[in-house]
Amino acid sequence: MIAKSCVSGVPSLLCASLKKGGIMKRKLVAALFLTFLGTVCLTAQTIAIRAGNVIDPATGSVAKNQTILIEKGRITEVGGKEVPKDVQVIDLSSAWVMPGLMDAHMHVTFNLPVGSIGFESSYAHESSALRAILGARNVKLILESGFTTIKDIGNDANYVAIDVRRAIEKGWIVGPTMLTTGKIIAAFGGQTQNYVPEAGPSWQYEYIDADTPDEIRKAVRRNIYYGSNAIKLVADNNKYFYSQAEIRAAVEEAHSAGVTVAVHVMGGEAARNVILAGAESIEHGFDLSDELLKLMKEKGTFLVGTDFPRSHLDAMGFDAYTMADKIVDRLRRAYKAGVKMAFGTDVVVDLPGKNRAEMDLDFLDTWTAAGVPPAHILKCMTTNPAELFRMQTQRGAITKGFWADIVATPENPLENIQALKKINFVMKDGKVIRQPK
């Protein structure tokens, strides 16, 4: 197919020459044709970005007036050289250019009405097919806003988020690179409480009950069998919580299959068990003490804090004022303690007048309120999650050999992180998703 499309660009005189003349002439013309064909095909696949300001989030440094060359979806060169001839040129010479953003805690197939956090409403009234369509809508919005890699962390309508990921990979729909955890593994009851016995274990639509190390290992294997490329546990949603040995069983089983483990936990002894058992990340961690934050730093445990702004907490029916202050305080202490953090949102309720992508970027307000510098916030949205996702040699930087996940904004996010709300150029795997109008 590539050769056929390239042949259309061959001058008619050259094609005519191939049909007549002696053997030597035909060989010469054929050689010229192959050279021409290779040149046309190569340039057709090459993109050059003129980038005025290229940000390296790992260091917070900026390189001026760079040329980024892209072929077959990957970055082949970055430097201050002239743009080659006969390539597609994208002019971002006045923009601030950076790697695509990442979100480590999303629920793309899950949505609840304002003022409600009851899971059972989605089970009773929304089919898996409907929620797959919701996921297709959300991933497109998320990608267009600048998030080129995300982790879907469960509540996914009976493995539907995995199908959304597969549809993206097949090119059927547009969306970011995805990690998907499938059903959430938890002690009996999932994240529900006090269901009446007559109702039965309806939570098993999205959770796997696992109450021993062996049951946990089996649950991990079940999720991986159905396509999960990451694992999530809930450690402490009820008075009982997972032991260190139980968490370690999940970690060992997941790691043997090459996937990571995220654990929903708020704090206390349950969080200590998660840290010491070797899970990659704590999700939420709103009640983490300074001692536990110090332990997280020592063990290299990531915090995916899901740092909700006050307006979101109110929409979900929480005590917004108390909870918001607690979240800002924990985020401030985690940053000062040097804990590795990855940006995560956990949006499951759409506020009136806002879509899922716009709400994700509202979380920047909480990070700013906690006093986290813009350069570090950007690192937590690129470099750090790439490490957490084990993608640090493929994504999360504008570097030779990496996939071309690139976004740009007209303002400098290192001075004002709110500039990320104005992203107007998005490239995913070398394909332009969005560009300035």
Q: What is the mean pLDDT of the segment spanning 247-275?
A: 98
pTM exceeding 0.85: yes
Q: What is the mean pLDDT of the segment spanning 408-414?
A: 98
Question: Does residue 67 contact residue 24 with C-beta atoms inside 8 Å?
Answer: no
What whole-number distance in Å separates Cα of residue 208 and Cα of residue 203?
Answer: 8
- Residue 116 is predicted with a pLDDT of 59
Is 89's pLDDT higher than 50? Answer: yes
Task: Give me the sign of the Cα torsion angle 434, 163, 154, 197.
Answer: positive
Domains of the chain listed by start with CATH number: 2-43 (no CATH), 101-362 (3.20.20.140)
Q: What is the mean pLDDT of the segment spanning 179-184?
A: 98
Band the pLDDT of 204: cuts 50, 70, 90.
confident
What ranges in 226-289 are assigned the alpha helix state H?
244-256, 268-277
Contacts of 341 (CB under 8 A, 6+ apart): 302, 303, 304, 305, 334, 335, 380, 384
Q: Which of 25-34, 173-182, 286-295, 390-399 has the lowest mean pLDDT?
A: 25-34
Average pLDDT, the chain: 88
The pLDDT tens digits for 284-343 are 999 999 999 999 999 999 999 999 998 888 877 777 668 889 999 999 999 999 999 999
Q: What is the mean pLDDT of the segment spanning 400-418?
A: 98
Is 171's pLDDT higher than 90? Answer: yes
Among residues of the chain, what percentage have pLDDT more than 70? 87
Highest mean pLDDT among 42-56, 117-131, 366-380: 366-380
Band the pLDDT of 36: cuts 50, 70, 90.
very low
Q: What is the mean pLDDT of the segment spanning 63-78?
A: 96
What whole-number distance in Å separates Cα of residue 158 and Cα of residue 154?
Answer: 9
Is 87's pLDDT higher than 80? Answer: yes
Question: Does residue 48 contact residue 84 with C-beta atoms inside 8 Å?
Answer: yes
How far from each other are the two terminal CA atoms of the chain, in whole angstroms?
A: 32
Is 35's pLDDT higher than 70? Answer: no
Higher pLDDT, 311 or 49: 49
Higher pLDDT, 4 or 191: 191
- Residue 6 is predicted with a pLDDT of 38
Tracing tokens 């040097």 back to the chain, one arrives at 338
Q: What 3-state class would DSSP assign to 216? A: helix
Residue 350, Cβ neighbours under 10 Å: how many?
17
Among residues of the chain, what percentage have pLDDT more than 90? 73
Is 45's pLDDT higher than 90? Answer: no
- Residue 84 is predicted with a pLDDT of 85
Burial of 321 (0-12, 13-18, 19+ CB in 10 A): exposed
Band the pLDDT of 197: cuts 50, 70, 90.
confident
The pLDDT tens digits for 97-156 are 999 999 999 999 988 766 655 666 667 778 899 999 999 999 999 999 999 999 999 999
Contacts of 180 (CB under 8 A, 6+ apart): 151, 152, 156, 161, 162, 164, 165, 227, 228, 229, 230
